[in-house]
Structure 1
């Protein structure tokens, strides 16, 4: 807990605990909102890049997202972060990196999904899938490879919290189907409206929904990477607590884990973008003086840095809420809300009928509802675990 106990000296110890707990929750939600705003907004600067192919501005921004900013953030916030990495078991580093590689494919297709579906629809479908698969896939794995303390599919089916999670997954699928319906309606209507079609020149529903599904599944691997590298975050937290007693969890403990995960993401994206540069003969973008080079680099750097800030604040939020799964769901919900705000401001649905607009709003609302349902299921699980600990102590 944050060191504010002296401010509540007139209250009973129980009241102090409740007040501090509520403040922790409020801070956690605020941090997740800031992170969600960063993630939902990061693609906007890319729209200001002129004369470059997608793969060129994506990898320039990615170098800031995955290579430059993460170690800088760790250097500023985690004392001795390189020593922590050097002392970590090789197996832990391997699995953290591998999940980063898989997540990198999800991140790569995220950019394509947003490009072909727009910020609003693309983000909603991808993040809705990401949130539910992030809760479901580990349970499938541990059903066949059981480990102490890890939930299986049987646990989901046989428990009230698990059933809540499964309901949320079903609701998410319904929401995605509704969004898909809105996407097909939009595609038909844009083909009849030349002005609207020009404003949505990259819109390709069939291709977009395919890469969005791939992205939604693989993007959940970031959460698995955080779990795989948790020992590094725990070490950072332990070191910090040794010099800051009675001040709760270390806000920036996950920053050291991000470095390894994002190296994996960089590997995937760098290879793919270089292949596209070679295939499309777009290596010249990086030095093409007929384009606004300085602005292109600045906007790409801004997009990449903004992208990383989502996880910088995600880590701060998780350190306050104390529940990785619920934090992940809350993070996804805020991103969906912010992305759709930008979708409306950028007039991505301009030129469509009221029926189509109403359909996509219903679909997005359904996805948000599913995220909240899954989050509630994880909260129920956390409360049961907390109750069990209290009983054990007594």
Structure 2
């Protein structure tokens, strides 16, 4: 990685992400030397990552994937580092093509997502006469953002993002969007900093913040359905929440294992209307997406630290917002066809959030920034323009 002299106008440092060649060679060697374990006859997605799909993606990795080309694409975007509370935060800062005083939008990913999830969305938000600045942040402990010395949950991460936007970049007001953990962090921005956060746009509602308020029959049915789905899907969450160090040891120096860990989630949480999962994820485009995402964690050595947020969540207090309060800034909810984190009834969501906009998003699952970037950017832009 290389850094230029500090940019005094923003308090941030221009940055060029570049992986060490020795690290790339080691990853390549580990992938090539991976010893495939035996699997039961007929094993498929019901037992985890589908063996045939994983093998096809790994074959693509060894024969066609080019990290340097992906790196070059990333560096076509304006990358920066800013040091806050002893942590280097990596972010991409797109300026509006037509300069204006509109509040920017900060875009926040989750796990196992990354900044790659929002490159297209940020570009679209900043283009055209109605464009506004867009800031894509790598969460602490993920990618080129530094890891905290101690566990850090989503509320503490929100405080860092707020300081980045207001103290480093000098924005008095901003909008926050997020998926997965990014939704939770964005909501904390609205809850803790309503004087600066003009609105929150989210694509996932964490049951942790609304489950206790479920009372109507349809709300209780939704909660029961989530618990049933999570009993089947939630092994990763229980491990990363309770024993993140163990998971980190297992996956940090195991590229194929990490790919399998992430593939299973991308497939399980994808739009069920997208068709056969095996066929979809064996296409060159989807294989590149998955490998690129895993490689970001591998080349930066952030596989283990990316999981700390799960344990950090447990250190931030009881479920829900303090005092039974809710997020009172305007909230927009983009309801995708996520088959595990199914959108809750609006009545239940409104008990924890001031919902002023609800959009049904076709063609997307848990990762709409990847699936439908144009639709997502348009919905964020329309929300920001009308609140």
- If asked which structure has higher relative contact order (CA below 8 Å, sep 6+), I would say 1
TM-score bin, normalised by smaller chain:
under 0.3
TM-score (norm 1): 0.25
TM-score (norm 2): 0.26
More helix by share: 1
